[in-house]
Amino acid sequence: MTTGRLPHGPAAAGMSRRAALGGLLGLGAATSAGAQAWPSRPIRMIVPFAPGGGADITARFVAEPLGAALGQPIVIENRGGAGGTIGTAAVAQAPADGYTLLYGTPGPLITNPHLMASLPYDAARDFAPVSVLTKGAYVMALHRDVPARNVAEVIALARTRPGQLTYASSGVGAGSHLAGELLCIEAGIRMSHVPFRGTGPALQETAAGRVTMSIDSYGPMLPLLQAGNLRAIAVTSATRMPELPDLPTIAETIPRFEVTVVNYVCVRSGTSPPIIARLNEALVRVLSDPGLDERMRAAGSSPPQGSTPEELGALLRSESAKWGEVIRRAGIQAG
């Protein structure tokens, strides 16, 4: 006759250990099987900016070959607004199943946490890094009539005219704004910031001579440089850009000056590590394709460059610390 009492003592402990081990093995098998089955349906890549911009263009370059590598289409979903926070929040609120990707730029996870008093997500907690997509730099360009031919002459001119030289940006807190602020800090000069609603208007106003200079993306700047309305004098990368080998770096005048423009892919935190590993492997393989590199460079995009999740995580942390300090010292607030 059984009493219904559970076993106790050493036998019970042994049974508990075996049951726990069996449960862990079962969980591991389920996780592995789930990763092998992923993806079984289309994946959406949220670009937290409007269609037609640099992030959207690069996302579409990557989406097609990535979908082919994974065996499921990658659907681009543009969710612009609030400096990228609306689309980024949508990823933070999505299931942690690998079917929603964030196309990130410096704003959402690097600078916005320092610029904005309140965000609908936690940049450090809510996202898991997958891979770098591109690492590029800005070009420093002057209106053609500015009497300076290099960075040293710009600095000298700014010192003789404190606050009179102006630099355009695509908005308060944008990368082009922060690059100008970093230049002022590192060179010990004072210039006036003139924000616009986007890169296009900022560059057009600089080309028209209503603003002294811009530090911005090379692709949108290229037609204005070719027309002779802007004059490029330097790049913000630590070393010279392969596509612009004759253009010096700002660091050649201001040691250690560097502005890196990183685009990347993240998923919701809690996503299965095997899914992240598979997504990373596919991305790195796609980004190493010479044909993709050629197409992106021809469009004025930064060259593709993959990474491990750990490398992207370290880069996001270091860039956040760097730009947080610049934002604090400059007293910038975007809302």
- Is 216 inside a domain boundary? yes
Residue 310, domain CATH = 3.40.190.150
Range of the domain at 103: 41-135+261-330
Residues 6+ positions from 223 with CB-CB distance below 8 Å: none
State yes or no: pLDDT of 22 exceeds 60.
Answer: no
Which whole number is the average pLDDT over 204-215? 96
Overall number of domains in the chain: 2
**Contact in structure between 261 and 179 (CB atoms under 8 Å):** no
Q: In this predicted model, what pLDDT tens digit does every residue of 309-322 receive, in sequence order?
A: 999 999 999 999 99
- 65-83 pLDDT, tens digit per residue, is 999 999 999 999 999 888 8
pTM over 0.85? The answer is no
The answer to whether position 8 is within a domain reads: no
pLDDT for res 26: 52
First-to-last alpha carbon distance for the chain, in angstroms, is: 73
Query: Shortest CA distance to 102 belongs to which of 122, 118, 84?
Result: 84
Q: Exposure string (b/e) for 164-198, b if CB count within 10 Å is 16 or more?
A: ebbbbbbbebbbbbbbbbbbbebbebebebbbbee
Cis peptide upstream of residue 223 (ω within 30 degrees of 0):
no
Q: Which amino acid is at 50?
A: A
